[in-house]
Chain A
Amino acid sequence: AQSVSQHNHHVILSEAASLELGCNYSYGGTVNLFWYVQYPGQHLQLLLKYFSGDPLVKGIKGFEAEFIKSKFSFNLRKPSVQWSDTAEYFCAVTPGTGGGADGLTFGKGTHLIIQP
């Protein structure tokens, strides 16, 4: 079975700082990787996903993530954060053969607070 580890449970940054949230997964086969964001009191929204091809994936709101297969990592980055990025961020994985027919396994999440 697959698992996901997010190293930082809480991150506090000032506006305009650069962001990198770590995500490592454990699974022996091909994987599909996702980052979701959950704003306070809201549902999960997809930021970006990786299925194949270019390991550098660009998502919405200026976020990007890089899949490094040798490190089993899929870290989320943003060059300059805004106050509105305050939210909970979840990394998730599913077996690559499923294509959306298998359930997601989530990390525990990283609570990001951006100070004005």
Chain B
Amino acid sequence: DAGVIQSPRHEVTEMGQEVTLRCKPISGHNSLFWYRQTMMRGLELLIYFNNNVPIDDSGMPEDRFSAKMPNASFSTLKIQPSEPRDSAVYFCASSLGTGGYGYTFGSGTRLTVV
């Protein structure tokens, strides 16, 4: 199993530009989560999906952030327009959703907005 795959691994962009982060969950997992990690705030849950449906987006910091999951094997997190304070590591995780199997994290995307 290839695990949770995120791309790109690193992204450097200028303030005001649109940024799209991508995630491919583990095949068969029906829950997908987006987290943001910063030194100041630690790991924060941004949004999660069950069976491709957004369940809770209360962690999304602003309207500049949006996430989609068009099918069971792909999700995107978009920031438009990006700001320097969005600089962080963004992790995607997936889980089987039932039975307590736990969560598997991707390698993360390190975003730097200059």
Contact = CB atoms under 8 A, between A and B. Distances in A.
Report, as a range, how many residues of chain A touch the other chain.
Answer: 20 to 34
Given A99-B98, A99-B100, A42 B56 contact: no
A51 B99 CA distance: 9
Contact of B45 (A43, A101, A105, A109): A105
Interface string A59-86: 0000000000000000000000000000
Nearest to B6: A43
A2 B52 CA distance: 24
Closest 5 CB pairs of A and B: A51-B100, A103-B45, A106-B43, A100-B95, A101-B97
16 contacts: A32-B100, A34-B102, A45-B105, A51-B100, A52-B100, A100-B31, A100-B97, A100-B98, A100-B100, A101-B31, A101-B55, A101-B95, A103-B45, A105-B45, A106-B43, A106-B44
Interface of A: 32, 34, 36, 42-46, 49, 51-52, 90, 99-109
Given A100-B98, A101-B31, 10 more contacts: A32-B100, A34-B102, A36-B105, A43-B107, A44-B105, A49-B102, A52-B100, A100-B97, A106-B42, A106-B43
